[in-house]
Amino acid sequence: MHLFHHKKELVSHLENQRGQNLTIGLVPTMGALHTGHLSLVKRALSENEVVVVSIFVNPTQFDKKDDLEKYPRSLEKDIELLKKVSDKIVVFAPTVEEIYDNDVKSQSYEFDGLDKVMEGEFRTGHFDGVGTIVELLLKTVEPNKAYFGEKDFQQLQIIRKMVELKKLPYTIVGCPIEREPHGLAMSSRNERLSKPTREEAKFIFGTLQGAKAKFGTESATNIADWVKTAFNNHPLFDLEYFEIADEATLTPMLKKQENQKYRAFIAVYADGVRLIDNLRLN
Ligand code: PAF
């Protein structure tokens, strides 16, 4: 296990590895690692000789100061977890100064409109922040492949779009959502839920499954109304959005088209914690 806090040392280590013709996988994370992250790391290890896991809570992708401050941080625990997975892992855990110097701000990106809906609508500047850090990590690590979870499906599509538009020579790999035993999508934010809320949060995935069951016979509007009513009647959760959208363009489905793939996307507040999830519908 190697641990680097500085770009320069990481780059020089990776140059050496590349010189030995070893392939490099990158798993960008914000730490507070859970089984979902570890599944990305294991996939990366199965496809590459060297795997870099970055652990960096990126300030520019948070639209709320409070959310950034409360984001769980557990570097030592994360490193212990990774050591148990493999000693081939290289951890890159920079400080904010190392990444941004004294200028903590995002670049502006063009994502072909993928950033204008859902998360982009509710979290101003979020995807510019994600684009900024992911582009920097890709250009620093120069991986053969980089791995991202489908829980943040919009983020995954946006990163694919950035790589395509900027003609970056990296393969982006999307990996399936890992769920807690009762169905809640794994997220570092789940740690901030009380035990009863975390248990009850199976309701979110249950609702997505309900939407999927209705998808064959009902319109998107009817399904969205059904979801809104279900959340209005629930004492613990506040629905921020529910959307059925085309997987490729992320535009809301108006009329079902043959050969198009659709997903249901949801964002919910529970105990003041924002949770997102999604499910392929066809
Ligand atoms: O998905 C995340 O954890 C973050 O958005 C990422 C990709 C590590 C960028 O900070």
Model confidence band, residue 18 (pLDDT cutoffs 50, 70, 90) = very high
Same domain, 73 and 45: yes
Mean pLDDT of the chain: 97
From the list 32, 30, 10, 15, the residue with the least C-alpha distance to 89 is 10
Mean pLDDT of 176-187: 98
3-state secondary structure of 8: helix
Instruction: Report the residue count for the chain.
Output: 282
CB atoms inside a 10 Å sphere around CB 6? 12
Active site residue 234: no
Q: What is the CATH number of the domain that holds 20?
A: 3.40.50.620
**Tokens 């993928």 belong to which residue?**
114
Q: What is the pLDDT of residue 238?
A: 98
**245-278 b/e with 16+ CB inside 10 Å = b?**
beeeebeebeeeeeeeebbbbbbbebeebbbbbb
Joined tokens for residue 174: 């999307």
Residue of 141, 152, 278 best suited for mutating to test ligand 1, as the one with most atoms within 8 Å of CB: 152
- The count of C-alpha atoms lying within 13 angstroms of the C-alpha of 224, restricted to the half-sphere facing its C-beta, is 17
Q: What's the pTM?
A: 0.97
| pLDDT at res. 7 | 98
Q: What percentage of the chain carries pLDDT values higher than 90?
A: 98
**SS3 (DSSP) at 243:** strand
Per-residue pLDDT, 172: 98
| Nearest CA, atom 2, ligand 1 | 29
Q: Which residue's CA is minimally distant from atom 7 of ligand 1? A: 28
Last residue of a domain, one of 145, 175, 205: 175
Give the closest residue to 275 by CA, choosing from 156, 148, 115, 151.
151
Give the pLDDT confidence score for residue 200 in this predicted structure: 97
pLDDT (0 to 100) of residue 51: 98
Q: What are the φ and ψ backbone dihedral angles of 247, each rounded to 5 degrees?
A: -60, -35
Range of the domain at 234: 188-277
Radius of gyration of the chain (CA): 19
169 and 251 part of one domain = no
Report whether residue 130 contacts ligand 1, using a CB cutoff of 6 Å: yes
In ligand 1, the atom with minimum distance to the C-alpha of 159 is 7
Residues 197, 233 within the same domain: yes
5 vs 209: CA distance, rounded Å:
42
